[in-house]
Chains A and B, each alone.
Chain A
Amino acid sequence: MAATQEEIVAGLAEIVNEIAGIPAEDVKPEKSFTDDLDVDSLSMVEVVVAAEERFDVKIPDDDVKNLKTVRDATEYILKHQG
């Protein structure tokens, strides 16, 4: 069962909260992982791996650099989820 856009944003918020300690309610689509959410380059790898597991999606390393904002990640997952 594919996740909805809202479910993906909420899931990413939980993941970011777990990894960077940012309150889940502050994780909004327009936020940048690195500039707004304290997710450094290594922690971004953790976010990606957690998102892959949660949403049954593969995010190749080459695509990770295009995921600047929560919206970028949400749209990527919507399009590629299994």
Chain B
Amino acid sequence: MNATNRTVVVTGIGATTPLGGDSASTWEGLVAGRSGVRLLEEEWAQDLPVRMAARVAVEPTESIPRPQARKLDRSAQFALVAAREAWADAGFTARAGEDASVNPDRLGAIVASGIGGVTTLLGQYDTLLEKGFRRVSPHTVPMLMPNGPAANVGLEVNARAGVHTPVSACASGSEAVGYGIEMVRTGRADVVIAGGTEAALHPLPIAAFANMMAMSKNNEDPQGASRPFDVSRDGFVMGEGSGLIVLESEEHARRRGARVYAEAVGQGISADSHDIVQPEPSGNGIAHALQNLTSDTTLVPAEIAHINAHATSTPQGDLAEIRALRKVFGDDVDHMAVSATKSMTGHLLGGAGGVETVATLLALHHRTAPPTINIDELDPEADADIVRGEARELPATGRIAALNDSFGFGGHNMVLAFRTV
């Protein structure tokens, strides 16, 4: 049973994002080039330097009953919504064990968050100051712990092979998927539900990111504010939501007759060791991850047709990524349709890698690269085939692969590769 190098496939997809309450409506929004960014109407936002964000399109409390929702941090609520969709999409009809096609002892759950239950932590601190210690909710600890979403998803599906929460800032969601791929590949589990979630729309994180000059202050044009690769980009727009997928050994998926979206080929990982927040500007750190991807997996650069770029709309980061792609793939970059979906979803921080994994898989599935919106004038240094304005068809036949890039404060570089089967 425990082989060391098993083929891993993706059999389920789920998401709740600023573009839609599930993966289908999210995909529809991405292909249509719709922005999920809005002005924040809340009173607390009015004095902030940044007054826009990409809130989820559908509140999680529409599907999670109140008694359950009030014990879950918003980030865990998002993860639960995405998990339920992904689990059902994979063809499972009940929790592991109750659905006999999956053994709970062979099921893992890996759900990452960049920040954890920050709105719970700060909200309960307000309660402590205003009403005293007795009124601090007894649910605070399981709500604020960063592994809360993973643990709640694990409980939901009955995962007993291991529940994990990798944390690497904005690379967290992709690191979770990579961890899941390894868990199945090496035989620790047959099925893993993996991805990321984030819910950090609160004045403190917004003020903190704004003060480090990482966020766009283009409040006059919220829907045009997230503009990766445009010459006038001035930082990211914060988003919230979750994206999770079901990873499975090919053998297990075949045995139960599951629909397969793609092969999860593997991952390339590196660390910049350059600066705590600035990307290594030449792209060498990212290039190292791309080189590891091609040397550690069966991926061939010639088959890469699409890249979901990390591209957050910051002046430095967007170019470092393109330089790295050119450095490693050379002329092959010319046949890779590069999309920056953060132009529409905003930047979901630890949720980004999960949602963009979903976008990457759906791009392969539909053989369509979503557009990058808001590029009025392409940065001349962005030397790649960037999909601008409108969605573009990918090669209709033949085996194609796609990458999902994710990088995080701290110098974490994660690249995931998927391939049609």
Contact = CB atoms under 8 A, between A and B. Distances in A.
A46 interface: yes
B139 interface: yes
A38 B67 contact: yes
Interface residues of A, number: 10
Contacts, number: 21
A49 interface: yes
A21 B66 contact: yes
B79 to A, nearest CB: 20
Interface string B108-141: 0000000000000000000000000011011100
- The main secondary structure of chain A at its interface with chain B is helix
A20 interface: yes
Contact of B137 (A21, A46, A52): A46
A20 B66 CA distance: 8
A19 B142 CA distance: 17
Interface in B48-103: 65-67, 70-71
Contacts of B66: 21
- Sort chain B's interface into a size bin: 10 to 19
A38 B65 CA distance: 13
Interface string A15-38: 000011100000000000000001
Contacts of A46: 137-139
Contacts of B137: 46
A52 B131 CA distance: 14
A20 B70 CA distance: 9
A19 B134 CA distance: 16
Contact of B135 (A38, A42, A49): A49
A49 B134 contact: yes
A45 interface: yes
Contacts of A52: 134
Contact of B67 (A19, A42, A49): A19
A72 to B, nearest CB: 19
Nearest to B69: A21
A49 B135 CA distance: 7
A26 B135 CA distance: 26
Contacts of A43: 71, 138-139
A2 to B, nearest CB: 22
A33 B134 CA distance: 21
Nearest to B140: A42
Contacts of A49: 134-135
B68 to A, nearest CB: 8
A21 B65 CA distance: 8
B141 to A, nearest CB: 9
A21 B61 CA distance: 14
Contact of B138 (A20, A21, A45): A45
Nearest to B67: A21
Contacts of A20: 67
Interface of B: 65-67, 70-71, 134-135, 137-139, 142
Interface of A: 19-21, 38, 42-43, 45-46, 49, 52
19 contacts: A19-B67, A19-B70, A20-B67, A21-B65, A21-B67, A38-B67, A42-B138, A42-B139, A42-B142, A43-B71, A43-B138, A43-B139, A45-B138, A46-B137, A46-B138, A46-B139, A49-B134, A49-B135, A52-B134
Given A38-B67, A42-B142, A46-B138, 5 more contacts: A19-B67, A42-B71, A43-B138, A45-B138, A52-B134
Q: Which 9 A-B pairs have the closest CB atoms?
A: A21-B67, A45-B138, A42-B138, A20-B67, A42-B139, A49-B134, A21-B66, A46-B138, A21-B65
